[in-house]
Amino acid sequence: METISHLYVPDEVQTNWQDIADLLAEILDVPAALVMRISEPHIEVFISSLSEGNPYHPGDREILHNSGLYCETVIKSQDKLLVPDALSDPEWAHNPDVKLNMISYLGFPIRTPEGHPFGTICVLDNKPNAYNATIIKLLEKFRDFIEYNLGIVHMNQVLGSRNQRLIDTIEELQVLRGIVPICAECHSIRDEHEDWHTFDEYLRSEPGTKLSHTICPTCKKKLYPALES
């Protein structure tokens, strides 16, 4: 399964996701609402609700493969997971989150615009919780909003990369435009209209160019040897 962990999420988007997590924890009256992110080979807490009794903190991480976490199953299946009471379910009774007293779970996968797994959005409770159909629909809608945000972030980054390449191309063209064709024999210079000029004529035709005559040391020695004695 191919995963993506390099997509940069701007601070303003993270602030919106924090608001979502806080609202979920408040509305559902649960200790924890999280946005988890894959950071190979780990899965980490990316956003964590600022709710009382939340044992998860941004930056907390676990090895993803064979972790036994609720979120690992969501990522592998790319489907919703509902665990009303892990303590009464042999499949989940010994998962790592139970050690934190998080015995019920509801989570959805989050995908990147290319369809790769990004992570999960989930809520956890320290008591049995079956999460009714309205709650499930609410969490799914918040997941859709987060994926919409990721689509905008991805597009902005693609456009930013393309704009930078365009700027680089323009700069290269400007450098090439600054190369002056000069005859190797008589040193005449060709302008953009394919007309040829002496070196002095060409410089005079350039805006802002002023000429001042002097003589180089080699020519001075050749023309005025008496001055060298």
Least confident of 40-44, 76-80, 97-101, 201-205: 201-205
State the DSSP string of 104-155: EEEEEEEE-TTS-EEEEEEEEESS-----HHHHHHHHHHHHHHHHHHHHHHH
Say whether pLDDT at 216 is over 50: yes
Average pLDDT over residues 5-21: 88
Q: What pLDDT, on the 0 to 100 scale, is given for residue 3?
A: 47
* C-alpha distances out from residue 204 to 6, 170, 198, 210, Å: 54, 27, 10, 7
Query: Which of 95, 127, 154 lies at the terminal end of a domain, its last residue?
Result: 154
114 and 207 assigned to the same domain: no
* 118-162: pLDDT as tens digits: 999 999 999 999 999 999 999 999 999 999 999 988 888 777 666
- Residues 145, 197 within the same domain: no
Name which residue leads in pLDDT, 29 or 167: 29
Number of domains into which the chain is organized:
2
Same domain, 82 and 193: no
Same-domain status, 150 and 194: no
Q: What's the whole-model pTM score?
A: 0.69
pLDDT digits (tens, 9 = 90+) for 175-188: 555 666 777 666 67
Please report, for the domain that includes residue 131, its CATH number.
3.30.450.40
Whether residue 54 lies inside any domain: the answer is yes
- pLDDT tens sequence across 48-75: 999 999 999 999 999 999 999 999 999 9
Buried residues in 4-19 as b, exposed as e (16+ CB within 10 A): bbeeebeeeeeeebbe
For residues 3 and 85, the answer to whether their CB atoms sit within 8 Å is no
Q: Is the pLDDT of residue 106 over 90?
A: yes
Per DSSP, the residues of 170-209 read: HHHHHHHHTPPPB-TTT--EE-TTS-EE-HHHHHHHSTT-
154, 172, 198: which is the final residue of a domain?
A: 154
- Residue 4 confidence (pLDDT): 47
| 116: number of Cβ within 10 Å | 14
Residue 92 in domain: yes
Domain that holds residue 220: 189-228
Query: How far apart (Å, rounded) are the C-alpha atoms in residues 157 and 116?
Result: 17
Alpha-carbon dihedral 124, 125, 129, 133, rounded to 10 degrees: -40
Domain match, 198 and 140 both: no
Lowest pLDDT segment from 80-89, 140-149, 160-169: 160-169
Residues 195 and 145 in one domain: no
84 found inside a domain: yes
18 and 81 housed in the same domain = yes
